[in-house]
Structure 1
């Protein structure tokens, strides 16, 4: 009887889920191919004026990620930003470090970044190689995000590839932000392994986060981090980043879900979980304050995640982060507001582009038929 009563009271859940699934599938169908076709059509510009091409590509990339941010927002899953004011980081090279709990983490970060003008066009994601084979993988390949290979046997090769990517893509493309998930996977998959490792090595046993992997951070800091002893007067060899091409800030992001129950991509797509608020806690560090010694750098990252553990524990018990204790320059907490009109304009642009591209292909097909017969 209880189950019958539940479905009678929530009769709209299944039709809503079907509608959202259909909409998101169609949304993918007229956005991703359109992005790819536009990039192919604009590729001659890349040969003669690469800066202009990548600037245009950045706008398209931002518009696509805005579509993803719309999925969670339209389902009633709001994001609340608290902690340090990050406005001064927007135009500087910034390493973003975030905890990783579920497949909803990235869409919520996209929702936050979408409201800031110059972040998503100039953003580089560092993500698992498996993402390359998803529907959005072709977009990340064109945008030149970095795909890292998991597993001990691939660790050294991945680090070397990351260094090469920073020098050949991140710097030349004039990217600003890069996003790193040091845990190397979702919390539910990493927690047990992390806790066993902590017990064996006399490290804190963490429950709300897992111990981070330090290889990627070390590679990033050694390649585009501050110069030794913050000395900008050193003679930099050709091929290595100049002082103005190096990181200025580290932005630490702690993602906290209501009651410690992460949303996932399925819930975002189908919208069957009741509307809720996910809290994003920002802490900003000057990159020059990150230790340059490898052992001290490892300890710094471990301390950062131990703090995340305490912060999340406090949040789950009280519903709030201790902002005054951890933030030197706090901003006013607020819900991230999305722009409905902008979403409408973007949909019209992608739909119109899709129509134009289809007409172009049909014209070419008919002309080829005419030549053949």
Structure 2
């Protein structure tokens, strides 16, 4: 081998060694990059797991907080129900028992008997009103003060939206003098069979039956009831719901009637039923020759 061939062979060996070194360097760099990327990937996965854990913890905390609030609401609801149930179990039988024991007084002095009955009736209505008070409900009144006419005969016309109207009215009338103990309610006959129905029956309230088949007879019964109980028990105010029932049950029928007779289309109230109103006014007030109700001086007929 000549000297030139030896030099060329040595040059090839150096190139091979350099290429091998470069490959090893590149390979080492690749491993470092892969290791770095793997480290970043592992760090990202760890961060993602931490985020998931944190989200789960937040959701669990929210659920526990919601469960705690729901449990508190249920506890208050159960407590109020138990309170109402115990009120009914104690107050209503007590009312009936006391009046049973006072029956001799009813024979001897009926006015005193009904005076005592009116006081106990007011206490019962205060008990019903307390259910709204303990639930946090308050009633704000505006308009004319009706207390000056609490001892006068009057007909109270109340729009009927729901069962809560009765409790609301009881709350409003508690501070109106003798109104509560001297008032008479007109209500659907279904309430006669409730826990408070016996109290209303003893007090002298009137239970009216709905429907066309009963309408005419019920008006006759109402007139007889007023003649028999209104003055003899010293009643003053008569509470009447002109819709004849709940708004949601009467709205559609009222709107059909209004459309048929070209009357206003009402959504929040129904057209009043005038049968009971006419009977009350005709029975308890004097009729003038011109058809107006009441005497010229406005003094109601006490006969």
Match for 1:219 among 279, 298, 301? 279
1:201 lines up with 2:261 in the alignment: yes
Q: How does 1:271-310 map to 2 (within 5 A)?
A: none
1:122 lines up with 2:179 in the alignment: no
Match for 1:68 among 125, 128, 131? 128
Q: Could you tell me how far 1:87 is from its partner in structure 2?
A: 1.9
Q: How does 1:349-364 map to 2 (within 5 A)?
A: none
1:152 lines up with 2:209 in the alignment: no
Query: Deviation per CA, 1:1-48, whole angstroms, max 9, x where unpaired?
Result: 687764444431001111111111011111000000000000111111
- Give the greater-gyration-radius structure (CA): 2
Tell me which protein shows more helix as a share of its residues.
2
Match for 2:249 among 189, 210, 223? 189
- Provide the residue aligned with 1:31 in structure 2: 91
- Provide the residue aligned with 1:245 in structure 2: 302
The separation in 2 between residues aligned to 1:93 and 1:243, in whole angstroms, is 8
Q: Could you tell me how far 1:115 is from its partner in structure 2?
A: 1.7
- Provide the residue aligned with 1:180 in structure 2: 240
Tell me which protein shows more strand as a share of its residues.
1
Instruction: Tell which has more relative contact order, 1 or 2 (C-alpha 8 A, sep 6+).
Output: 1
The separation in 2 between residues aligned to 1:6 and 1:243, in whole angstroms, is 60
Gaps of 5+ in 1: 234-241, 247-373
- Provide the residue aligned with 2:72 in structure 1: 12
- Provide the residue aligned with 2:116 in structure 1: 56
* TM-score, normalising length: structure 1: 0.61
Query: How many residues are aligned here?
Result: 238
Gaps of 5+ in 2: 1-58
Q: Could you tell me how far 1:88 is from its partner in structure 2?
A: 1.8
Q: How does 1:309-324 map to 2 (within 5 A)?
A: none
In the superposition, relative to structure 1, how do residues 215 and 244 fare at CA in structure 2: closer, same or farther (>3 Å)? Answer: closer
Which of structure 1's runs of 4+ aligned residues deviate more than 3 A? 1-11, 229-233
* TM-score, normalising length: structure 2: 0.75
Query: Deviation per CA, 1:224-281, whole angstroms, max 9, x where unpaired?
Result: 1344154469xxxxxxxx94528xxxxxxxxxxxxxxxxxxxxxxxxxxxxxxxxxxx
Query: Deviation per CA, 1:172-208, whole angstroms, max 9, x where unpaired?
Result: 1110101000101101111111111111111101000
Task: Check the 8 A contact 1:227/1:243 in 2, yes or no.
Answer: no
SS of 2:217's partner is helix
The separation in 2 between residues aligned to 1:209 and 1:3, in whole angstroms, is 42
- Provide the residue aligned with 2:16 in structure 1: none
1:166 lines up with 2:226 in the alignment: yes
Query: Deviation per CA, 1:271-322, whole angstroms, max 9, x where unpaired?
Result: xxxxxxxxxxxxxxxxxxxxxxxxxxxxxxxxxxxxxxxxxxxxxxxxxxxx
Query: RMSD over aligned Cα, in angstroms?
Result: 1.9
- Provide the residue aligned with 1:143 in structure 2: 203
- Provide the residue aligned with 1:83 in structure 2: 143
Task: Check the 8 A contact 1:232/1:243 in 2, yes or no.
Answer: no
